[in-house]
Amino acid sequence: MATLLEKIDTHDFFTTVIRSWTTHRRHWLSAVVITIALISLCIFTPLNTWPGFTHHMYTLVVNDTDRRDTAHDIMAGERWRLMELERIYGQNECKRKGRVSNPKWGWITAIANNKFVLPSVVLGHTLNVFSCQRKMIALVSRDVSAVNRGALERVGWDVVEVEALDCNWLDKQQGREPRNIGILGTHMRFHVWTFSSYEKLIYIDGDFLVLSNIDELFEINGEFAACHCARPGMIDLCFNAGLAVIQPSKQTYSDIMKYWKERGSNGRCISDQLLFWYFFGGSNRWTPISYAYNVRRMIYWPMKAYHFAGTIFYKKPWEYCPLPTKDEALKFDGPIRVVEDLFVLWWKFFYEMQEKYRLTEWWDQFQKNVLKLRQNGDCG
């Protein structure tokens, strides 16, 4: 008995238990149940059976991470197979169920410069693959070249030139020299509210990877809907407007522009994201939608769309160098276990898009002129 107890250090055992529970804090209820069970067993279990029981519990706790990883892998495999079925047969399902594209609904994005044309053509392709809604509008600034506008149109975007709105624009409006603060062109999405001939538009950033049909978002009531910043279980008093369900209104557009100018009258320029929070969130005009539509910086299930937001933790797929080869990307066959898998999947969708819309020549020129890459994909 002493020999067995020496092998199972009591301190190590309880340290392992605590570490396991700390790692999986969201399973606090399970921790309470296990604690009650341990106390009950210690009271009612004969003393001479404690070593075997303790060893068994130690084994369960030590192997708990492996068990969770195995379950995660099984779930990831199942979800990958479902995504592949939807990718291959999704448009057939649209026809089978009679889901005709509603002319009063549409997808809309904003492109401030040539570099963001690349993710936007991939976004357009994924919407064509998964969505039953065909209308896609790309708001572009005058800095987007004719060649790149042609690539957008080939994928299916209706290209509309609008004024580039950002902090430089606001500086000029208020008689200041442009200070190049904030993200160039980031306020261009304000123009979405001017498309009042539509009942509902879903604004979606170009750095989104759509992984499923998300047309149900068009059915949301309210003038503005967006996802919480944080996943369930985390408290973060904000929303992320990289994907937003919008009810266009010229009056709302006028109110937003007026609010932006008033907030910037003291020389400040608030971001479009923060302005939306003040304007909609602060006045109880925001409808929350599930984090599953705007997953960021982690793998979270359910995951209907992934947002390559920010650059603190990860670069965007097209910013890595060297880029994956066409063969490497097309051979990716899932499942999605880590964020890096989504990067490869993004390139898989890109190369499928390149072939489908015959954009090989455009891509060759884009690499050299915009991404500044050599033909072999190495950094220039």
What tens digit of pLDDT does each residue of 135-166 get? 999 999 999 999 999 999 999 999 999 999 99
Amino acid at site 331: K
Contact call for residues 212 and 117 (beta carbons, < 8 A): no
284 compared with 134, residue with greater pLDDT: 134
| Residue 255 CA from chain centroid, whole number | 29
261 compared with 31, residue with greater pLDDT: 261
Amino acid at site 276: F
DSSP lists the bridge partners of residue 161 as 140
Assigned token pair, 68: 């969770």
361 compared with 265, residue with greater pLDDT: 361
Contact call for residues 224 and 280 (beta carbons, < 8 A): yes
- Summarize the confidence of residues 3-14 as an average pLDDT: 40
Among the listed residues 88, 153, 155, the one whose alpha carbon sits nearest the alpha carbon of residue 124: 155
Is the model's pLDDT at 218 over the cut of 80? yes
pLDDT for 163-197, tens place per residue? 999 999 998 988 888 888 888 889 999 999 999 99
In angstroms, the CA 153 to CA 136 distance is 10
Please give the pLDDT value at position 5: 35
In angstroms, the CA 51 to CA 4 distance is 7
- Interhelix angle 117-130/64-96, rounded to 10 degrees, is 70
**Buried b / exposed e across 222-259, counting CB within 10 Å, b at 16+?**
ebbbbbbbebeeeeeeebbbbbbbbbbeeebbeebbee
- Summarize the confidence of residues 299-326 as an average pLDDT: 85
Please give the pLDDT value at position 9: 43
Q: What angle do CA 327, 352, 141 make, to 5 degrees?
A: 120
Band (88; pLDDT cuts 50, 70, 90): very high
Q: What is the pTM of this model?
A: 0.82
Band (13; pLDDT cuts 50, 70, 90): very low
19 compared with 107, residue with greater pLDDT: 107
DSSP H stretches of helix in the chain? 2-7, 10-23, 28-44, 50-62, 64-96, 117-130, 146-155, 167-173, 250-263, 272-276, 326-330, 339-356, 360-369
**For tokens 């769309």, what's the residue?**
305
Helix then strand then coil, in percent of the chain rounded to 5, is: 55, 10, 35
Amino acid at site 372: K
- Summarize the confidence of residues 317-338 as an average pLDDT: 90
In angstroms, the CA 334 to CA 116 distance is 26
Q: Is 296 helix (H, G, I), strand (E, B) or coil?
A: strand
- Interhelix angle 64-96/50-62, rounded to 10 degrees, is 40
pLDDT for 95-139, tens place per residue? 998 988 999 999 999 999 999 999 999 999 999 999 999 999 999
Contact call for residues 302 and 202 (beta carbons, < 8 A): no
Amino acid at site 41: L
